[in-house]
């Protein structure tokens, strides 16, 4: 009898320990050591998960970096308003993650208190995918390392995001883009993103393998889209439109300016593309400029209101036209003064094949259905 009672008490004691362990919830415990101050949003997120509150406006007062092993989660409808010029930007370091979870009716907005181009930095994402500048390199606008050999590297999810008034400049040679992808891998999701009224490029890809869908680049003062250093993503539905009475190219595309045949060679594919210019703005009024060894494949393209449609420069890029690794099919030209400008036209196969029925990003030069509701300036 005594043994049975002792055994029962032993079982209850063990059960009590188990129940205590299960009932101690981590819900009230912070998941990150980062001190989140909405009115002074800056610093280094070094661990855990930081989740923002959509009902709060966050004032970005300096550099915010999501470091390896940490994650920043931004729910639909969140507004982040930056101050501070070049000192204010959001960056995701190698091994860090960002989850931007906007919706078509409630996008995430990264903007500035001063509503003009160049008022703050922008969004910088650094991954571990291959680049051709070296095995790794240092990002020019965040001093973070990027590049590596993880083609499917995952830096998170960016969905339904609008970036406004970005592009703060350190000097004439160094400035932020709206969204900069440095060696970002194909495991990263990028869909429904707009960059509006930035002072430099809208989107720029520095190597990597990231794929994108549904990008809108409007009224940015340099190029709407730009790539270099061996980027090789697969992309669908890009809509670019110059505005503010200024701006350069729809697309500026490079491989490597120091070594035109450096590998991996820039070689993205872009299907369903509309680019709208401002007419004759001089030598940089080019819808698509391809140079220093880039390859690319375009399909279903509408080009409108540029001085030049396609401008291909340097022998390496020109040679890719002949072998079919640099080409554009189903192209519609609308108010393009010169359809093409080439380094050595006499030796070239045509880069494009025309199709007057091309729809570009979905609705010709009009706003595509997928871009309505969550964008501005269209």
Whether the predicted pLDDT of 187 surpasses 80: yes
* DSSP-based three-state secondary structure for 85: strand
Distance CA 321, CA 163 (A): 35
Least Cα distance to 190 among 167, 220, 219, 160 occurs for 160
Are the C-beta atoms of residues 90 and 100 closer than 8 Å to each other?
no
Question: By residue range, what is the domain housing residue 333?
Answer: 39-370
Whether residue 61 lies inside any domain: the answer is yes
The tens digit of pLDDT for each residue in 216-235 reads 999 999 999 999 999 999 99
The tens digit of pLDDT for each residue in 84-112 reads 899 999 999 999 999 999 999 999 999 99
Whether residue 293 lies inside any domain: the answer is yes
Instruction: Count structural domains, the chain.
Output: 1
Least Cα distance to 242 among 307, 313, 160, 295 occurs for 307
Calculate the average pLDDT of the chain: 90
Q: Note the pLDDT of residue 349.
A: 75
Whether residue 276 lies inside any domain: the answer is yes
Whether residue 111 lies inside any domain: the answer is yes
The tens digit of pLDDT for each residue in 63-73 reads 999 999 999 99
The tokens 């595309």 sit on which residue?
253
Q: Which residues contact 230 (CB under 8 A, 6 or more apart)?
A: 130, 131, 132, 133, 207, 208, 255, 256, 262, 263, 264, 265, 266
Whether residue 377 lies inside any domain: the answer is no
Quote the percentage of the chain above a pLDDT of 70. 89
Whether residue 14 lies inside any domain: the answer is no
Whether the predicted pLDDT of 17 surpasses 50: no
Name the pLDDT band for 25 (thresholds 50, 70, 90). Answer: very low
Q: How far is CA 250 from CA 144, 157, 158, 266, in A?
A: 28, 25, 23, 17
Report the sign of the C-alpha dihedral through residues 351, 357, 362, 365, in that order.
positive
Are the C-beta atoms of residues 149 and 130 closer than 8 Å to each other?
yes
Are the C-beta atoms of residues 168 and 123 closer than 8 Å to each other?
no
CATH of the domain at 196: 2.160.20
* pTM for this prediction: 0.91
Distance CA 227, CA 102 (A): 26
* Phi, psi (rounded to 5 degrees) for 317: -65, -40
Whether residue 355 lies inside any domain: the answer is yes
The tens digit of pLDDT for each residue in 314-361 reads 999 999 998 999 999 999 999 999 898 765 555 557 899 999 999 999
The tokens 């990263």 sit on which residue?
188
Q: Note the pLDDT of residue 173.
A: 76
The tens digit of pLDDT for each residue in 233-291 reads 999 999 999 998 777 899 999 999 999 999 999 999 999 999 999 987 766 789 999 99
pLDDT greater at residue 322 or residue 193: 193
Whether residue 209 lies inside any domain: the answer is yes
């Amino acid at each position: 009898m005594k043994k049975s009672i002792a055994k029962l008490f032993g079982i209850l004691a063990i059960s009590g320990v188990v129940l205590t362990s299960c009932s101690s919830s981590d819900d009230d415990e912070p998941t990150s050591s980062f001190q989140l101050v909405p009115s002074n949003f800056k610093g280094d997120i070094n661990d855990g998960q930081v989740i923002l509150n959509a009902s709060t406006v966050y004032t970005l007062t300096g550099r915010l970096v999501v470091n390896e092993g940490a994650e920043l989660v931004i729910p639909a409808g969140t507004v982040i308003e930056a101050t501070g010029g070049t000192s204010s930007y959001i960056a995701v370091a190698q091994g860090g993650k960002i989850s931007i979870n906007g919706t078509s009716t409630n996008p995430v907005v990264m903007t500035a208190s001063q509503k003009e181009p160049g008022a703050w930095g922008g969004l910088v994402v650094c991954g571990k995918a291959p680049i051709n500048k070296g095995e790794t390199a240092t990002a020019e606008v965040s001093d973070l390392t990027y590049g590596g050999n993880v083609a499917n590297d995952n830096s998170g999810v960016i969905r339904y995001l609008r970036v406004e008034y970005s592009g703060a400049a350190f000097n004439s040679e160094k400035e932020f883009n709206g969204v900069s992808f440095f060696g970002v891998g194909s495991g990263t999701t990028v869909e429904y993103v707009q960059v509006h009224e930035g002072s430099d490029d809208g989107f720029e890809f520095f190597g990597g393998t990231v794929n994108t869908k549904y990008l809108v680049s409007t009224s940015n003062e340099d190029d709407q889209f730009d790539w270099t250093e061996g980027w090789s993503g697969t992309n669908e539905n890009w809509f670019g439109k110059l505005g503010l009475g200024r701006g350069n190219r729809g697309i500026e595309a490079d491989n490597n300016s120091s070594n035109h045949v450096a590998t991996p060679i820039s070689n993205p594919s872009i299907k369903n593309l509309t680019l709208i210019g401002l007419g004759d703005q001089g030598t940089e009024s080019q819808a698509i400029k391809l140079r220093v060894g880039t390859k690319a494949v375009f399909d279903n393209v509408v080009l409108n209101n540029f001085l030049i449609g396609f401008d291909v420069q340097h022998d390496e890029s020109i040679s890719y036209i002949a072998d079919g690794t640099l080409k554009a099919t189903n192209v519609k030209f609308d108010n393009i003064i010169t359809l093409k400008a080439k380094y050595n036209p006499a030796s070239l196969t045509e880069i494009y094949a025309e199709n007057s029925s091309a729809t570009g990003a979905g609705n010709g030069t009009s706003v595509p259905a997928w871009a309505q509701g969550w964008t501005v300036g269209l």
